[in-house]
Amino acid sequence: MKLERILQNQGFGSRRQCRQLVELGEVRIGGEIIDNPGAEIATAGLVFEVEGEAWTYRDKTYLALYKPSGYECSHEPKHHRGVYSLLPHQLVARNVQSVGRLDVDTTGLLLFSDDGAFIHNLSSPKKHVPKIYRAELAEDGSDILIKRLLAGVDLIDEPLPVPALTARLLGPRTLEMSVDLGKYHVVKRMIAAAGNHVEQLHRSGFGGLNLGEGCLAGLAEGEWVYLEAADLQQLHPAA
Ligand code: URA
């Protein structure tokens, strides 16, 4: 692929801007400046440097962000900062989108990609990908709360009762539960329907990926990592 096209589809600007970057000697491959924008470069396993920063060529890109509280999952945030401001502008220029959304005050694991089929697959209710949440409750939890969540609660707009896949108390007011439905405020609404109230919500896992483990070990709030093929496999643990 022509070098200027590689840079363009990796998010380094318009064709003209990418051509300029190359002509200005800002692009290196294997330590060598390549100043011909039309140079044909093999993309498999390609690592290139732009203005001294190393990038790996990625046909499609997959990311995991540890979302902090106070960020909106929108490209055009209205009242807070947007999660996209936490990602490098090259990735935003590639038009990565979040897989579903977290509320502005929810913290935890949020995935992004520019692979539409991947996003669709993970968002589809038919795929039953579980998401694990930890909720700090306004009142002490109880066996009844757990039983109600596991049995399924009525939510407006849902034709059938919505059950938690798992639910357990980690402390008097700390509940861990998993759901495979990706609806607006679903966890907060489920817990309210079961007779309690969420004070703080955190998503610790998505499919088989968990914050603090594997490729996400050591990821701090506000930080992100690329997800590689092996990490993506973990998203569908049963597959
Ligand atoms: N359910 C909620 O209520 N809020 C979230 O942010 C995610 C799931």
Report the chain's C-alpha Rg in angstroms: 21
User: Atom 2, ligand 1: which residue's CA is nearest?
Assistant: 185
The CATH number of residue 177's host domain is 3.30.70.1560
State the residue range of the domain holding 9: 3-56
The CATH number of residue 116's host domain is 3.30.70.580
Q: Is the CB of 187 under 6 A from ligand 1?
A: yes
- 189: pLDDT strictly greater than 60: yes
Burial of 7: CB neighbours in 10 Å, binned 0-12, 13-18, 19+: buried
Out of 69, 186, 202, mutate this one to test ligand 1's pocket (max ligand atoms within 8 Å of CB): namely 186
Q: Is the CB of 231 under 6 A from ligand 1?
A: no
Shared-domain flag, residues 218 and 121: yes
- Would you state the structure tokens that stand for residue 30, as one six-digit string? 């294997």
At 97, the pLDDT band (50, 70, 90 cuts) reads very high
Q: Is the CB of 3 under 6 A from ligand 1?
A: no
In the reported structure, the alpha carbon of residue 198 is separated from the centroid of ligand 1 by a whole-number distance in angstroms of 10
User: Atom 4, ligand 1: which residue's CA is nearest?
Assistant: 185
Burial of 201: CB neighbours in 10 Å, binned 0-12, 13-18, 19+: buried
From the list 195, 206, 63, the residue with the least C-alpha distance to 133 is 206
What's the pLDDT tens digit per position in 23-49? 999 999 999 999 999 999 999 999 999
Ligand 1 atom closest to 188 (CA): 3
Shared-domain flag, residues 75 and 192: no
Shared-domain flag, residues 214 and 230: yes
| Structural domain count, the chain | 3
Q: What sign does the dihedral 216-220-98-14 (CA atoms) show?
A: negative
Shared-domain flag, residues 166 and 196: yes
The upper half-sphere exposure of residue 89, i.e. CA atoms within 13 Å in the direction of its Cβ, equals 2
143 given a catalytic annotation: no
- Look-up: residue for tokens 């039953």? 128
Shared-domain flag, residues 110 and 14: no
Active-site residue among 35, 103, 105, 231? Answer: 103
At 238, the pLDDT band (50, 70, 90 cuts) reads low
How many CB atoms within 10 Å of residue 108?
Answer: 22
Shared-domain flag, residues 181 and 229: no
- Predicted local distance difference test score (pLDDT) of residue 158: 92
What's the pLDDT tens digit per position in 137-163? 999 999 999 999 999 999 998 999 999
User: Atom 7, ligand 1: which residue's CA is nearest?
Assistant: 102
- Look-up: residue for tokens 């692009």? 27
Q: Is the CB of 98 under 6 A from ligand 1?
A: no
Shared-domain flag, residues 10 and 114: no
Average pLDDT over the chain, rounded to an integer: 95
Shared-domain flag, residues 216 and 98: yes
Shared-domain flag, residues 121 and 70: yes
Q: Is the CB of 204 under 6 A from ligand 1?
A: no
E-strand ranges in the chain read 27-29, 32-33, 47-50, 53-56, 62-67, 71-72, 81-82, 97-98, 107-113, 131-137, 166-171, 174-179, 198-206, 209-210, 224-226
Helices then strands (H, E): number in the chain? Answer: 7, 15
What's the pLDDT tens digit per position in 195-215? 999 999 999 999 999 999 999
The pTM of this model reads 0.94
Ligand 1 atom closest to 179 (CA): 8
13 against 123, higher pLDDT: 13
Cα angle: 146, vertex 150, 154; to 5 degrees: 105
Shared-domain flag, residues 100 and 212: yes
Shared-domain flag, residues 227 and 113: yes
- Predicted local distance difference test score (pLDDT) of residue 182: 86
Shared-domain flag, residues 149 and 201: yes
DSSP-assigned letters across all residues of 160-208: SPBPPSEEEEEETTEEEEEE----TTHHHHHHHHTT--EEEEEEEEETT
The CATH number of residue 11's host domain is 3.10.290.10
Out of 123, 184, 201, mutate this one to test ligand 1's pocket (max ligand atoms within 8 Å of CB): namely 201
Out of 133, 181, 197, mutate this one to test ligand 1's pocket (max ligand atoms within 8 Å of CB): namely 133
- Predicted local distance difference test score (pLDDT) of residue 239: 44
**What SS3 class is residue 17?**
helix
